[in-house]
Amino acid sequence: MPCQNNGTCASTVGTSSYYNCSCTEGWEGINCEADIDECVNDPCNNSIRCINTVGSYLCLCHSGWTGRACNEDIDECIDDTQCYNNGTCINTPGSYTCNCSLGWGGSKCETDVNECVDTSVCNTSCINTPGSFWCLCEAGWTGKHCDQDIDECTIGIHGPYPDKGTCINTNGSFWYNCTTGWEGVPYSYLMAFASRIEYWNNPENQQRQLETLNSTLTQLKNNLTIDKTQISSSRIKRISAPDPRQSAAITGYMGAGILSFVFGLLLCLDLTMCFRRSADQ
């Protein structure tokens, strides 16, 4: 057979001496002996380059494309593994994009966004966390951005005697307007108490503080001993602790009285908001 490379041979009409070859794709010539260089006509789309082969060609496709001529888009989002941290994959011609969830960035949502770089995020200290942030609110403020005022007057700050005064809320704080004949606990104690409301509402914290108080009382009882060698009709020496420092030893009835007064005052500050003025005031 005169025709090569699977070409089809046909006799010329009216003679047996001549023939005609119908060549298969990729071949040419009288006998289909010549390879056609398809890359001359640039048959590849979206490709790096075209490689001519014997009787055919090969397209080296760019990322995101497939098919003989690199004209078929690859849907990278079909397996849902391209985007991290709950990002949404969106297919595009020859590629894809990731729509990142709040707090993440990068081409694949792999980068944590440090929200604390923007100082306006929190009205106080800001702590960056993976995919989010945390604001350390000052006393009197709450909310994710510490921008919500706590109304201390609605959550029991007015104490056990609300009829003795009026609690007035302010931005980030409050103050107590006592009725005539009553006066309030110093502002610093009020703010300390307000900032600890959530802490004290926890039963575990209440039990822990109760145990600490009982331990302190026991220690005070053990330390308040009488030095019997110093007892006389006019003088009694009480020692608060076996320590030579001036602040550790208090002599006489006055020293014991001062200790009792200070300890009693601390207890009173935890239990009441206003106390009755003395009659001579």
Q: Per-residue DSSP letters for 197-216?
A: HHHHTSHHHHHHHHHHHHHH
pLDDT bracket for residue 247 (50, 70, 90):
very low
Tens digits of residue pLDDT in 185-222: 544 445 545 555 655 566 766 676 676 666 656 656 66
pLDDT bracket for residue 246 (50, 70, 90):
very low
The answer to whether domain 8-72 has CATH 2.10.25.10 is yes
> How many Å apart are CA 45 and CA 93, to the nearest integer?
13
Q: What is the pLDDT of residue 157?
A: 57
Q: What is the pLDDT of residue 197?
A: 60
Residue 151 DSSP label: -
Tens digits of residue pLDDT in 4-14: 988 888 877 66
CATH number of 75-112: 2.10.25.10
User: Please, what's the b/e burial string for 37-75 (b: 16 or more CB within 10 A of its CB; e: otherwise)?
Assistant: ebbeeeebebbeebeeeebebebebeebbeeebbeebbe
pLDDT bracket for residue 76 (50, 70, 90):
very high
Instruction: Count helices and strands (H / E) in the chain.
Output: 4, 23
Q: Is 154 exposed, middle or buried (0-12, 13-18, 19+ CB in 10 A)?
A: exposed
Contact (CB, 8 A) for 134 and 122: no
From the CB of residue 77, how many other CB atoms can be counted at a distance below 10 Å? 17
Whether the predicted pLDDT of 96 surpasses 90 = yes
Q: What is the pLDDT of residue 159?
A: 54
pLDDT bracket for residue 242 (50, 70, 90):
low
pLDDT bracket for residue 250 (50, 70, 90):
very low
pTM metric for this prediction: 0.46
Q: What is the pLDDT of residue 165?
A: 72
Q: What is the pLDDT of residue 272?
A: 40
Q: What is the pLDDT of residue 195?
A: 54
Q: What is the pLDDT of residue 95?
A: 94
For the chain, give the mean pLDDT.
74
- Alpha-carbon dihedral sign for residues 78, 82, 83, 89: negative
Q: What is the pLDDT of residue 203?
A: 72
Q: What is the pLDDT of residue 248?
A: 44
Domain(s) of CATH 2.10.25.10: residues in the chain: 8-72, 75-112
